[in-house]
Amino acid sequence: MGASVVAAVFGGSVLAGSVFAGSVYDRGAMTLQALREKIGDPAFFTVMRRWYAEHKYGNVSTPEFVALAQQVSRQDLGAFFKAWLYTPGKPAFLADDGAPVASARLAASEGGGRRR
């Protein structure tokens, strides 16, 4: 799809130039890897298999994916997805709940967090 077609579809908005940018795909891949680390392989692969099986020919939304991940993992992933999906930039340091931590020193003093 050419840039002019994308611009036409999105009404020439600023969004048009970034919809298919590599950073969009990189961020998605990083988010899935971070989710895998957070909930573990068994839950992660259950989420992925169910997601595909239930939606392979349909339209879906991000909140539906979040709900499935929370259901399967039995974890509140709100802070995790807020950090990875709705906050600009890549979270550089994460607390155990997946939320960004102000600094490595703060996390170390609280006994939590992991470098990504």
Which pLDDT score, from 0 to 100, does residue 93 have?
59
Q: Classify residue 24 by burial, with Cβ atoms within 10 Å: 0-12, 13-18, 19+.
A: exposed
Residue 28: pLDDT above 80? yes
Q: Which residues contact 94 (CB under 8 A, 6 or more apart)?
A: 34, 80, 83, 100, 101, 113, 114, 116
Q: Is the entire prediction scored with pTM above 0.75?
A: no
Segment 9-23, tens digit of pLDDT: 445 455 555 666 666
Which pLDDT score, from 0 to 100, does residue 73 have?
97
Q: What does the domain layout of the chain look like in residue ranges? A: 22-115
Segment 56-115, tens digit of pLDDT: 999 999 999 999 999 999 999 999 999 888 888 777 656 665 555 554 444 444 444 444
- Give me the helices (H) in the chain, please: 3-9, 15-18, 22-39, 41-55, 62-73, 78-85, 104-110
